Amino acid sequence: MMKQAVLASMVTLLVVACGRNDSPSSPSRVPENSPSISGAAATVATDGRVPALVAQGQRRSGFGFNGTVSGFPTGKVFLTGGGAYEPASHFANAGGGFTCINAVRQGPLSISINPNDPGPCLDAEGIRWDTAALLDSTTFKCTASATDETATTSDTTVVLQADFYRTGDGNEESFTGKMIVSSGDISRNFPGVNLWVQGVGCGNAQTVNFSN
């Protein structure tokens, strides 16, 4: 009888333990209307929420591109790269190469936020960019005198807040600004453009590819 009582107690404890859902080692769940995921939190390696997104069946889009933008009074910028994003959850993990072909002296790329690397992005400066946040939409201009237009993130267009780095920056970016990449035209006023960088202008990105 004593052995049966002990066994019954052990079974009861096991059932209670298995029924708990507040264990510190349990992976966190993502609400369907979760806030934006940005920076290091958006990477597959460090974000425990990424597997949850897959489990919930939310569809991601992938993209890749390279191109050059200009149009504002100064500056010409080359960008290449790509990544993946999921609009409903605001997940984004993207990055690539970045170079200021000509110095940018207006907009975000003209004002460094890195005290150890001050000044605008000058000729031949820049090494890479990565994602700070996935944005639902943004207003933009292809030239300083153009009227405002709006781009919206979708399966074929991605609007990002991006960080831009120069050689020697390490993980401390020099600039942060918005960018748009699309598989189709983004402007009614400038047909054929599908790439934009805040304060620099628009361009026709080559080898653009979106998949989902």
Partner residues linked to 84 by β-bridges = 62, 93
- Residue ranges of the domains in the chain? 39-211
Provide the pLDDT for residue 59: 81
- Answer for the pair 77, 110: CB distance below 8 angstroms, yes or no: no
What whole-number distance in Å separates Cα of residue 169 and Cα of residue 91? 25
What whole-number distance in Å separates Cα of residue 112 and Cα of residue 119? 6
Q: Is the pLDDT of residue 161 over 70?
A: yes
Residue of higher predicted confidence among 14 and 87: 87
The mean predicted confidence, pLDDT, of the chain is 80
Residue of higher predicted confidence among 59 and 120: 120
**Residue pLDDT, tens place only, 14-68:** 333 333 333 323 222 323 333 333 333 333 333 333 333 343 456 899 999 999 9
Provide the pLDDT for residue 154: 96
- Answer for the pair 104, 110: CB distance below 8 angstroms, yes or no: yes
